[in-house]
Amino acid sequence: MTNPEKILKRYNLSREHIIQILHDIQQEYNYLPKDVLGQVARRLKIPLSRIYSMATFYAAFSLQPRGRHLCTVCMGTACHVRGAPNVVGRLEERLKVRPGETTEDSMFTLETVNCLGACALAPIVVIDGEYFGQTTVDKVDRLVDKYYEKETAQ
């Protein structure tokens, strides 16, 4: 695992780039670990409270470890009128979590996003960066099954 120092150096320890730094840290650790944020605060000489306020204000950041697979449901208007609420409802039921939470077995983190701008494919579900378009309640059911099958096969 990269030292946070490497990420900080990438941005010349510039405070202005704090959002980009947090992005890179999340990319590296999969979330924003408390001790790493402490290190960032010390090195950039800004209060940890300010970093905490950034991390909680922006929806992209997570202070909790996330699951092995990130399942994102688009809640844009086009997805909404084509049935996204039913899709996310089904995923909540199946995974027994609410959006923003991670399943007990750390398999999935369920997230919603305002709009991915791929409205032609509404309603959209993205798992680990792979887009699944025109989803239905039944389709996401099969998707979840597929991921669990893959996991047990390994």
Partner 1 sequence: MKKKQPSRSFRLDILVCAGTGCVASRSFEVKEELQKEIARRGLHGEVRVIATGCQGFCERGPIVIVQPDGVFYQRIAMKDIPFLVEEHLLKGRPVQRFMYVPKPEEPPVPKMMDIGFFRHQQLIVLRNRGRLDPENIEEYIGFGGYRAFEKALTEMPSQGIIDMVKTSGLRGRGGAGFLTGLKWELCRKSKGKVKYIVCNGDEGDPGAFMDRSVLEADPHAVIEGMAIGAKAIGAGKGFIYVRKEYPLAVKRVEKAIRQAHKYGLLGEHILGTKFDFSLEVVQGAGAFVCGEETALMAAIEGRVGRPRTRPPYPVESGLWGRPTNINNVETWANIPQIVLKGAEWFASIGTKNSKGTKIFSLVGKINNTGLVEVPMGITVREIIYDIGGGIPGNKEFKAVQTGGPSGGCIPKSLLDLPIDYESLTEAGSMMGSGGMIVLDEETCMVDVARYFLNFTQGESCGKCPPCRLGTKQMVEVLNRITEGNGQETDIEFLEDIGRKIKQSSLCGLGQTAPNPVLATTRYFRLEFEAHIREKTCPAAVCKALISYYIDPEKCGGCVVCVRKCPSEAITGEPRKVHVIDQAKCIKCGICLTICPSKFDAVKKLSPVIK
Q: Which residues bind partner 1 (CB under 8 A)?
A: 14-20, 22-23, 53-54, 57-61, 75-78, 80-83, 86, 89-90, 93, 113-122, 124, 131, 133, 136-138
Q: How many CB atoms lie within 10 A of CB 140?
A: 22
User: Cα dist. 112→1, 5, 69, 84, 144 in Å?
Assistant: 28, 31, 14, 10, 16
Return the number of the residue (129 or 152) whose C-beta is nearest partner 1: 129
Please report how close the Cβ of residue 28 comes to partner 1 at its closest, in angstroms.
15
Please report how close the Cβ of residue 88 comes to partner 1 at its closest, in angstroms.
11
Return the number of the residue (130 or 153) whose C-beta is nearest partner 1: 130
Instruction: Count Cβ atoms within 10 A of the Cβ of residue 84 and give its class: 0-12 exposed, 13-18 middle, 19 or more buried.
Output: buried
Residue bearing tokens 């390994």: 154
Please report how close the Cβ of residue 137 comes to partner 1 at its closest, in angstroms.
5
Return the number of the residue (68 or 80) whose C-beta is nearest partner 1: 80
Cβ partners under 8 Å of residue 83, min gap 6: 123, 136
Torsion of CA 137, 139, 141, 145, to 10 degrees: -170
Return the number of the residue (41 or 78) whose C-beta is nearest partner 1: 78
Please report how close the Cβ of residue 27 comes to partner 1 at its closest, in angstroms.
11
150: which 2 tokens?
A: 């893959």
